[in-house]
Amino acid sequence: MTTDAPRLIRSTRLLDGVEDRIRAEFNAPPPPEQALDTAALLELAHAYQPFAVLVTHTAPLKGADVDALPQSVRLVATVSVGLDHLDVPALLARNIAVSNTPDVLTDCNADLAIMLILAASRRAAEYYTLMKAGWGHALGMGEMLGHRVTGKRLGIVGMGRIGQAVAKRARGFDMSILYHNRRQLDPAEEAGATYFDTLEDMLPHCDILSLHMPGSPTAPPLINARTLGLLPRGSVLVNAARGSLIDEDALIAALRSGQLFAAGLDVFRNEPNPNPALLALPNLFMTPHVGSATLETRTAMGMLALDNVRALAAGKPLPSGVSA
């Protein structure tokens, strides 16, 4: 690669196709053998003086970390759609552009949400545990029964790209779609879904509730003992968005009491070490924050991050820039 190619560093090794493109189109050091934390990323940035920094959640840039970036940095490109690991206003105030990777992970995140809905409703975790133990006895007619998904009322909180993709898939199960959002969608986007102006008004009508909105570690949990109590008894809760959206103590109590029949979680308040009380619940189906974890999607995310680097270096608009 020529010396005038954009200089970049990344906090973690990306997929092979993305690394091949980095070698072909950019000036970059070899990928790290292990994901870098913030201190190691900043040390590399000062040594290499990059034009762009590619990050994931393992190397958050907030507060003093933003101030510590070298003057050479013109773009922080996160290989994620979420931005909670970045201090976007501080970066923009330093005239450092920010980009993320929306859209390309919509389908896989929606697929995972549907998997969580099915797995929680049909007791997949309990069935798997039984089979791993050797099964051993025929199940009676009334033993270990799940809940049918077809025809149920699905409440979606956050009807953005992923929420709409979940609704599209749920219609294949003849589910009725309810949603709460900051604004009502136009009729074409709604596609027959029913809008509720407040979450509290929607919850009593939901057999299944699925969360698809941003979260903040400093904001009060959206789902707490009060809101869980508004759901019909025996409903199902799914969260493939952010762990901060749920009061986990209230969730544990609701799963133990039967207020919730089951839950499916891909995200947790304390990752990667979730509350042991959650892990012990038989009616909780869990995955380790893997909504975008497919070969196709993780490759597309890395490529979009590189597209943003190329665009800024050429003086063109960012394909997926982030504003304040």
CATH no. for residue 58?
3.40.50.720
Q: How far is CA 68 from CA 65, 88, 135, 269, in A?
A: 5, 15, 57, 28
Q: How many CA atoms lie less than 13 Å away from 180 in the CB half-sphere?
A: 18
- Identify whether 50 is part of a domain: yes
Residue 98 and residue 114 in one domain: no
Give the domain range for residue 77: 8-104+294-313
- Identify whether 83 is part of a domain: yes
* Percent of the chain at pLDDT exceeding 90: 96
Residue 251 and residue 147 in one domain: yes
- Reported in sequence order, the residue ranges of the chain that DSSP labels E, i.e. its strands, are 8-10, 52-55, 75-78, 97-99, 153-157, 176-180, 194-196, 208-211, 235-239, 260-265, 284-286
SS3 264: strand
Residue 12 and residue 79 in one domain: yes
Residue 263 and residue 228 in one domain: yes
pLDDT in tens, 198-214: 999 999 999 999 999 98
Other CB atoms within 10 A of residue 4 CB: 8
Residue 151 and residue 211 in one domain: yes
pLDDT at 324: 75
- Identify whether 29 is part of a domain: yes
pLDDT at 1: 55
pLDDT at 61: 98
Which residue stretches of the chain have pLDDT < 50? none
Q: Which two tokens stand for residue 272?
A: 């990667």
Residue 185 and residue 44 in one domain: no
- Which residues are catalytic, by number? 242, 271, 289
Residue 81 and residue 118 in one domain: no
- Identify whether 80 is part of a domain: yes
Residue 75 and residue 128 in one domain: no
Residue 121 and residue 203 in one domain: yes
- Identify whether 1 is part of a domain: no
- Identify whether 319 is part of a domain: no
pLDDT at 241: 96
Question: CA-CA-CA-CA torsion for 16, 19, 23, 29, nearest 10 degrees?
Answer: -130
pLDDT at 2: 53
Residue 129 and residue 248 in one domain: yes
**Using a CB cutoff of 8 Å and minimum separation of 24, what contacts does 16-24 make?**
17/299, 17/302, 17/303, 18/299, 18/302, 18/303, 18/306, 21/303, 21/306, 22/306
